[in-house]
Amino acid sequence: MASPSFRPAKAPDLAQLSGAPLMADTPGKVFKTLERRIATLTSQLSPPPSCPPLISPSIASADDSYHRIHGEVPMKEASWGAVCDETGKEFTDIIYEKAVGEGIAKITINRPERRNAFRPHTIKELIRAFNDARDDSAVGVIILTGKGTKAFCSGGDQALRSSDGYADFESFGRLNVLDLQVQIRRLPKPVIAMVAGYAVGGGHVLHMVCDLTIAADNAVFGQTGAKVGSFDAGYGSSIMSRLVGPKKAREMWFLSRFYNAYEAEKMGLVNVVVPLEKLEMETLNWCREILRNSPTAIRVLKSALNAVDDGHAGLQELGGSATLIFYGTEEANEGKTAYMQRRRPDFSKFPRRP
Ligand SMILES: CC(C)(COP(=O)(O)OP(=O)(O)OC[C@H]1O[C@@H](n2cnc3c(N)ncnc32)[C@H](O)[C@@H]1OP(=O)(O)O)[C@@H](O)C(=O)NCCC(=O)NCCSC(=O)CCC(=O)c1ccccc1C(=O)O
């Protein structure tokens, strides 16, 4: 992104400054008045001296012990291995891959001829892939993306929309994308939306429920519901309002406009915008940085960041992580062991910390 530049402060010409009283005054007074007016105009044209630059210099490679110890992650392509479904069959609507030797899974919506619009079957496959990635303890981060460069996802397949949801191979409709949203939100590993092209309608909601969004410079974001007769009154409204603020959220839903990647970044919808050709490399970088960090810290942080907004379900997720950690302690083990040995547990040696 180009660095913002302020217009240089240039001295205004005298014609601008000429006011009737100037001519009648003594030269000393005229000079002082001129000086004051120039100072006022100059202060309006140039940034105040203490104003920090809008883009702060990167400290990613600062020369301090923190950076010397942690260093930078290797910049290299991933080697992807395809994953079949649990019955050994190939997925049809998605591509599911894992990076060889790295804890990264990549799930790609594979309907580029429909701008990666999803049908119920697509969602069922996505749910199965996300379940697998959750259960695989070698996986620490999951990328969600769309096939090709034209679209991340254009929402529900409108050709399959009926009076009770979306119907493909069944005689009744479904809105099963809502189950997928909940699954991503509760999944105890970070999910990163890697967005090239359109992320609109239900596709826009999908990127919003992901933990992070890396956008290519060709990405386009927006809700179309008010134009196509649909709305997401769940996460699609509440998370958006949290991300961009209530006024902007109303604008996005009521007007159904599209926003380019830089506008989306400014609104807080995406974490970073990169050139299209660098999209996957940048996303891999973010994944690798996350993978260097404590998985338990990240698990608890994700549930903590969602807890208030997700109400009881959010607390349950956070509470589940607390129980998981507690089970690993001697104190918890004493309770279980005592039960198994049919004796009274002895918790006396465990501190009652302040
Ligand atoms: C995305 C576009 C802006 C791209 O425009 P363009 O590049 O010009 O391509 P097109 O020529 O329009 O499209 C190529 C091809 O793809 C077909 N297509 C694209 N999008 C869809 C779609 N969503 N459904 C069906 N088909 C689609 C298009 O028809 C073309 O096919 P041809 O055969 O070649 O003609 C533009 O395509 C566009 O505006 N698309 C529609 C975007 C949209 O309105 N999406 C639906 C929003 S509503 C929704 O997603 C609800 C989802 C949902 O299930 C839900 C319900 C209730 C609560 C919550 C949710 C939720 O959160 O998801």
* CB-based contacts of 48, cutoff 8 Å, min separation 6: none
Residue whose CA lies nearest to ligand 1 atom number 42: 154
Predicted local confidence at residue 41, as pLDDT: 52
- Residue 75's SS3 state is coil
Nearest to 153 by CA among 111, 123, 191, 124: 111
Residue whose CA lies nearest to ligand 1 atom number 6: 115
- The CATH number of 296-340, from 1.10.357.10, 3.40.640.10, 1.10.12.10, 3.30.70.3040, is 1.10.12.10
Ligand 1, atom nearest to 220 Cα:
3
- The two beta strands, 161-162 and 165-166, are antiparallel
Predicted local confidence at residue 115, as pLDDT: 98
- Residue ranges of the chain assigned to CATH 1.10.12.10: 296-340
Paired with 104 in beta bridges are 141
Q: How far is the CA of 202 from the centre of ligand 1 (A)?
A: 9
Cβ atoms 227, 256 nearer than 8 A: yes
φ, ψ at 154 (rounded to 5°): -105, 20
Q: How far is the CA of 230 from the centre of ligand 1 (A)?
A: 12
Predicted local confidence at residue 49, as pLDDT: 43
Q: How many Å apart are CA 66 and CA 137, to the nearest integer?
A: 28
Task: Tell me which amino acid residue 87 is.
Answer: T
- Residue ranges of the chain assigned to CATH 3.90.226.10: 75-291
Predicted local confidence at residue 2, as pLDDT: 34
Residue whose CA lies nearest to ligand 1 atom number 16: 114
Q: How many Å apart are CA 110 and CA 133, to the nearest integer?
A: 18
Give ligand 1 pocket residues (Cβ under 6 A).
114-115, 117, 150-151, 154-159, 175, 177-178, 198, 200-202, 205, 224-225, 228, 230, 232, 236
Q: How far is the CA of 254 from the centre of ligand 1 (A)?
A: 18
Q: How far is the CA of 234 from the centre of ligand 1 (A)?
A: 20
Q: How far is the CA of 151 from the centre of ligand 1 (A)?
A: 10
Q: How many Å apart are CA 228 and CA 233, to the nearest integer?
A: 15
Task: Tell me which amino acid residue 187 is.
Answer: L
Predicted local confidence at residue 305, as pLDDT: 98
Residue whose CA lies nearest to ligand 1 atom number 40: 154
Can you give the pLDDT of all 354 residues of the chain as single tens digits? 333 332 333 333 333 333 344 444 566 666 666 666 655 554 444 444 444 443 345 667 788 999 999 999 999 999 999 999 888 889 999 999 999 999 999 999 999 999 999 999 999 999 999 999 999 999 999 999 999 999 999 999 999 999 999 999 998 999 999 999 999 999 999 999 999 999 999 999 999 999 999 999 999 999 999 999 999 999 999 999 999 999 999 999 999 999 999 999 999 999 999 999 999 999 999 999 999 999 999 999 999 999 999 999 999 999 999 999 999 999 999 999 999 999 999 999 999 999
- Strand (E) or helix (H) holding 207: helix 202-209
Most ligand 1 atoms within 8 A of CB, residue of 115, 160, 210 to mutate: 115
Domain with residues 75-291, CATH architecture: Alpha-Beta Complex (3.90)
Q: How far is the CA of 198 from the centre of ligand 1 (A)?
A: 9
The model's pTM is 0.86
Rounded to two decimals, the ipTM of the complex is: 0.97
Give the tokens for residue 242: 């949290």
